[in-house]
Structures are given as structure tokens and as C-alpha cells.
Amino acid sequence: MRVSSSQFQNTAVEAMVDQHAKLSQVQQQVATGRRIVRPSDDPVAASKVVKMDDVIRNVEQFQHNISTARARLTMEDGVLENVINAYQRIRELTIQANNDSQTDDTRGYIAEEMSQLLDEVVGLANSTDSNGEFIFAGNMGRFKPFAYNDQGGFDYHGDDGQRFIQIGPRRQIAVNDSGSDVFREIRDGIGKFSVYESPTNQGDAVIDPGVALADYKGGTYAIIFDRKPSVDPKEPITYSVVDAQGNAVVAPGQVYTEDATIQFNGVQTFIRGEPKAGDYFVIRPSYHQDAFTTIKQYIGELKSSHGSPAEHAVLHNHTNQFLNGLDRAMGRVLDIRANLGARLNAMDSQEGINDALRIQMKEILSEVQDLDYGEAVSRLNLKLTGLEASQKAFTRVQGISLFNYL
């Protein structure tokens, strides 16, 4: 086999270049602190690194989402706390106004303060977050949810939706509550039914808001008072109960006794005061009414005259109805705040889970891609020695030629 001088030199150069490439690879590993500089260094491990990087980025995004959601829910909770404070003040004023020692003038002053509190509650319902979006507008955050209309009522320009944000690989959480859920979807009365006096009542009877028993059947009823024609001034007032079709539910002739229980079809109530013949009270199923309208209607009642016993009875009946409605509005806000607290706790828990996952992924990632510096330095020294040997061999081979011996 013939070996030429050029072949000697090419072989030496190739060996030197190969040693230089190996040295360069180790140098890059030492400089970056990573065992895998290019995917070709370890294709299987490089694939794992890509997947774990994706997991870590997703977890970091979840943590950012949790911070955003926590800030928004904390702001909502603060707004609802102020709403509760306003409701409680309105309740205090209501009890104060219901006292018979008050005059029309003093009730007018109370009504003015309630009007200011109502404006405050409407303003709170139109609160915005740090991004300028309305908190209680559902999915329509750019639209102001509540506004007075020309009829003196309140229009809602949001929707019933909730916005959700991803806080974990398989977990989402609501970051808002709709104004409809917080302020509008509130049943009047006791939630099952409401009681109302007839506007034509002449007596001073006041009906209790009542209790719905387990066998409550729903429906609309009237408690009607009557009195037999008699010259006897002690002739008792009697009552009957009829349904919406005029059918007797409680037969006529029942003797009325103040504070005595009146019970039928799952409705239980009592009446205080002295009704007149022809007076009646209506019991109807509850329906939804927004908290703002409930408050405004009672403000209107306070601005009315209450000079006669019958007018005082109207005030007391409306006060009982209003206090029930206000308490249900407060209960709704308290329920929402409790749910907010549960969501904040869930985010705290998920944040801890995400942190643990992120740490675990980083540890595994470190095991896969981080460099063992002791082993790498040993290889670096070995490659340096190999390169120096190649260079010396090249120097010796470069000086060899057959022509030197001719």
C-alpha cells in the first residue's frame, strides 16, 4: 500500500480538526453550563427539555393569571363590603322611620339620606377595575351596567355571564360576578311569597311577612275581612281566604283574633291591629326585583303623608315588606362574598400546587440538561491534551518528505 506525503498531512490535519471540534463542544458546554447545547447532542433528552420548558412556561402563566384574578376578586370584595355597609345604614334608617314618633318632615329627611345611599349603591354597582372594565357587567365589561331610565327605574346593560381564567392545567376560576346575579335576581318578600295590603284598607291592621311551611303550594290568595250586620258593637270581625279564582280556601266566618296564627296551603302568618270590614291582604308568589327599585319604592313611601291610623298601617306594612327585601338583598351580597372567599382560597391552594410543580419540573430539567462541571473539566483537559498531541503530530509529519532522501 502506497502512502504519499500529502496523505500523511491530510490525515494529521483531519485529526487536529476533529480534536478541535471536540474541544469546542466541551468549551460550549462549560460556557453555557448545559450538557445539551444543540438538539443533536442528545435528541431524546433535547425533546424532554422542550416539553419541560413548555410545562414551566405554562405554570408561570398560571401564576400570573392567579395574581390577576386575585387582584380583581379582592377589588370586587371591597366594593361589596361597601355595598353591605350602605345596606346596613339603610336598614337602620328604615327602623328609625318606622317609629310612630316620627313626623312626615323627619321621615322626609330620612328619605333624603336614603336617596344619597341609593346613589352610592348604584355607583358601587358601576365600579371599574384597574383596566377600566366594569366589574358587574358580566361579559360586557366595557358597558356601564346600571343606569336610571326615563320611567324612574333602573336598566341593566350587562349580561349574566362570568369570565373564567385558567389557573391550573385543568382548573379555571370565575373572576367576576354579574350585576344581575348580585343586584337583580333577588326575590321579594320571604323568597317564596309576598304579602300586600289593599290600597283601599280602612283599618290599621298590619300583616306579618309570614313563613312558608314545608307543604307550601304556591298560588295567589286573599285574606278578606267581613262583619255581620249587627247593632252589637262587639260583633266580631271575621275573615275568609280565597284563591285567585275566588274559591274558598278558608271558609267565611272565621273569627279574627289579633296575633293569632292564620294558616292555609303552607302559608303561615298573623295580623296585628284592627281591620275593617272590606279590608283584605294579598299573598302572591315572590318574583325578582332589583335592590335599587326596592329601595327607591320605600323612599317614595317615606315621602308620602302618614297622618291617619290607616296611613300608619300602610307605612308599617310597607316597612315589613321592605325590610324583608333589603335583608334578602344583603343576604345575596353576603353569599357572593362567601363565594369570593372560596375562590380566593382555591387560588391560594392552586398557587401552592403550581409552585410545587414548577420546582419539580426545574429539578428534572436541571438533571436532564445541566452540566456536571467536574466531569466536563476533566473532559476539557483531556480534549486539550488530545489537541496538543494532534498539533505536535502534525508538526512532525509536516517535515517528512521522500524528497529529503533523494
- pLDDT tens across 373-386, in order? 555 555 555 556 65
State which residues form the domain around 272. Answer: 193-286
Residues in the chain with pLDDT < 70? 1-50, 230-231, 365-406
The three three-digit cell numbers of residue 227, written as one number: 262583619
Together in a domain, 132 and 203: no
The three three-digit cell numbers of residue 403, written as one number: 524528497
Tracing cell 304579602 back to the chain, one arrives at 195
Provide the total of helices (H) and of strands (E) in the chain, helices listed first: 7, 13
Which of the listed residues 227, 260, 286 is the one where a domain comes to its end? 286
Given this model, what pLDDT does residue 233 score?
72
Report yes or no: 352 and 89 within 8 Å, Cβ to Cβ: no
pLDDT, tens only, 24-57: 555 555 555 555 555 555 565 556 666 877 888 8
Q: Give the separation between CA 379 and CA 392, rounded to whole angstroms.
A: 20
Given this model, what pLDDT does residue 56 score?
86
Together in a domain, 252 and 144: no
Q: Give the separation between CA 104 and CA 307, rounded to whole angstroms.
A: 8
Buried (b) or exposed (e) across 266-301, using 16+ Cβ within 10 A?
bbebbbebebbeebbbbbbebeebbbbbbbbebbeb
Given this model, what pLDDT does residue 401 score?
57
Number of domains, the chain: 2
Together in a domain, 88 and 210: no
Together in a domain, 259 and 341: no
Given this model, what pLDDT does residue 131 score?
87
Together in a domain, 263 and 201: yes
Identity of the amino acid at 320: N
